[in-house]
Amino acid sequence: MNPRLEIFSQGDEVVTGQIADTNAAWLAQQAVQIGFTVTRHTTVGDRLEDLISLLGEIAQRADCCICTGGLGPTSDDLTAEAVAKAFNLPLILDEQALAQIQQFFANRQRVMPESNSKQALLPQGSERLDNDHGTAPGFSVQVGQCWFVFMPGVPSEMKPMYTDKVLPHLTQRFSLQPSNLTTLRTLGIGESAIQELMNTITIPENVQLGFRAELGEVQTKLLFPFAYSDSEKADLVNKIAKRLGDTVFAIDHTREVNSDLISVLDELMTQGQYTLAVIETVSCGLLSSLCVGADWLVEAHYQPTLINSDLQNLALELQKTSGASFALVQAYTGDKNSVMILHNSLLTPQGFYQNTQTIAGALKRKQHQAALSALDLLRRYLQQKLGNSDD
């Protein structure tokens, strides 16, 4: 079983929602990648009693805890004091830390304010983590079964401290067995429809299956344990991919999901040296907006009043005037304030391809679905073409 890690963020600005806690997400990703099971994130504000009780709770539950925030020089920076009180470890002046803080100010030709000397007080028995990018040193301390790491909350100080100072400790102190994540990304199919298609596929008990739905896209996630057989993994992924058919637009084997629809399209279009011209209706410019930076999009037009009539002629005309390899025309029937039926038409050298989709919900949701479903028509054509030419 993986060691359990908790993430703890301190600060009124986080607990009151003035900033989103991106540190927690970043640290969780890092920890999962190297083989921890992240069990919990907790955020509390700048109140000593809240900090003390939370530290006590975590020491009972986790094997490792990574904390950010509360190491600054001001009166609302209470982390070291809370650690001292929670674990009965009196604060002791770390001479080297003080010298480094003084040096930090000397380097900038400024006098160190007295309040900064507080940052050199560390709990007895803790180990200092040098801060190469700011004044607040971090520290680590073992309490019972749990190894605590305390780092500053400023991302530009925290991230290098994690990578340079904390990560080497983690891989040394813990016996880690990282799992592997595979993500199948689909468009044009719902979460429950995927589950039904997968009903007859047996997922081994040690493989964790999960789903995530975003606007228009569903991700099917398989988490494989450490040292899982590569061939069995490939077999399972292929079986699922085959069952889901051409709704699958990408399969990610990395932790970070990065091959989104646009980057998949970008690769296919660039590879084939194709170009595209577009007429949008319901997506109202969002389709081209998503393609920002893509040289293959040579022109796009938003024509709100276009109704589903004679899409093919429009596409032919657009292809002719733009000189693009493909012309994509989007039209709709139905009222824009209720359920709509979307008609996408794609003109290619191999002829016309079309799809229709019923879309409903808020206007922005429809807009997003319309942009994706039109681009997905192009993606399916290109991948199928590629598949055929591979045969």
Torsion of CA 110, 113, 118, 119, to 10 degrees: -30
Query: Which residues, numbered 122-151, are part of the site for a second copy (CB under 8 A)?
Result: 133
DSSP state at residue 381: H
Among the listed residues 130, 164, 196, 267, the single contact to a second copy using CB under 8 A: 196
Instruction: Determine contact, residues 218/191, Cβ cutoff 8 Å.
Output: yes
| Residue 227 vs 363, nearer CB to a second copy | 363
For the CB of residue 126, give the shortest distance to a second copy in the complex, in Å: 23
**Amino acid letter, 18:** Q
Instruction: Determine contact, residues 287/278, Cβ cutoff 8 Å.
Output: yes
Among the listed residues 302, 316, 317, 334, the single contact to a second copy using CB under 8 A: 302
Does residue 217 bind a second copy (CB under 8 A)?
A: no
Among the listed residues 40, 128, 239, 385, the single contact to a second copy using CB under 8 A: 40
Among the listed residues 1, 18, 200, 205, the single contact to a second copy using CB under 8 A: 18
For the CB of residue 27, give the shortest distance to a second copy in the complex, in Å: 7
Among the listed residues 42, 259, 355, 356, the single contact to a second copy using CB under 8 A: 42
Among the listed residues 13, 130, 164, 232, the single contact to a second copy using CB under 8 A: 13
Does residue 1 bind a second copy (CB under 8 A)?
A: no
The kind and range of the H/E element at 44 are strand 37-44
Which of helix, strand or coil describes residue 124?
coil
| Residue 38 vs 86, nearer CB to a second copy | 38
| Residue 126 vs 327, nearer CB to a second copy | 327
For the CB of residue 46, give the shortest distance to a second copy in the complex, in Å: 7
Does residue 360 bind a second copy (CB under 8 A)?
A: yes
For the CB of residue 122, give the shortest distance to a second copy in the complex, in Å: 19
Does residue 212 bind a second copy (CB under 8 A)?
A: yes
Query: Which residues, numbered 218-247, are part of the site for a second copy (CB under 8 A)?
Result: none
Would you give the distance in Å from CA 123 to the centre of its chain? 35
For the CB of residue 304, give the shortest distance to a second copy in the complex, in Å: 7
Rounded Cα gap, residues 24 and 13, in angstroms: 14
Does residue 298 bind a second copy (CB under 8 A)?
A: yes
DSSP state at residue 309: S
* Total residues in contact with a second copy, by rule CB under 8 A: 91
| One character per residue 49-88, x = contact with a second copy (rule: CB under 8 A) | -x---x-----------------xxxxx------------
First and final CA of the chain: distance in angstroms? 44
DSSP state at residue 111: P
Query: Which residues, numbered 165-184, are part of the site for a second copy (CB under 8 A)?
Result: none
Does residue 253 bind a second copy (CB under 8 A)?
A: no
Query: Which residues, numbered 368-387, are part of the site for a second copy (CB under 8 A)?
Result: none
Which of helix, strand or coil describes residue 8?
strand
Residue 39, classified by CB atoms within 10 Å of its CB into exposed (0-12), middle (13-18) or buried (19+), is middle
| Residue 37 vs 312, nearer CB to a second copy | 37
Among the listed residues 1, 108, 202, 205, the single contact to a second copy using CB under 8 A: 108
CB atoms within 10 A of CB 122: 25
Choose the binding region for a second copy from 141-149, 261-269, 294-302, 310-318 (rule: CB under 8 A). Answer: 294-302
Rounded Cα gap, residues 238 and 233, in angstroms: 9
Please give the C-alpha separations between residue 223 and each of 79, 199, 229, in angstroms, as whole numbers: 35, 18, 13
Rounded Cα gap, residues 30 and 308, in angstroms: 49
Rounded Cα gap, residues 278 and 76, in angstroms: 55
Which of helix, strand or coil describes residue 37?
strand
